[in-house]
Amino acid sequence: MSEWTPNKILHTIYNKHMKNLLNQVTKKLILNEAFNFDAQASVQALTDIISSIRVTNKRDTNRLKLAKEHIRGIKRQMRTLNEKIESLEQELNLLKEEK
């Protein structure tokens, strides 16, 4: 029987999550409904999953450290994009008011 490593755990969780997400999106498309994807909730779920994994060797510790750094980068990019969206929405509202 194979040993459960953090990499295998993340892979399994990712596959289950992606399969579920794909099923939801497909159902919404078939039913002609809008699909709202909450990126912040997904990133938070990944953060929680990674934080809950306990490792016993240095290699896996470094991998989890790298994954956490990537998630922090994604959060920074999301914050920047949200700020740009807010700015553009304000500009759009100003342009609509000027008309």
pTM reported for the whole predicted model: 0.59
Instruction: Tell me if 28 sits within 8 A of 34, measured CB to CB.
Output: yes
Tokens 């342009």 belong to 95
Determine, yes or no, domain membership for 1: no
CB-CB neighbours of 13 under 10 Å: 15
Determine, yes or no, domain membership for 28: yes
- 52-66: pLDDT as tens digits: 888 889 988 998 999
Q: How many domains does the chain have?
A: 1
Lowest mean pLDDT among 7-21, 48-62, 72-86: 7-21
Q: Give me the domain span that covers residue 91.
A: 6-98
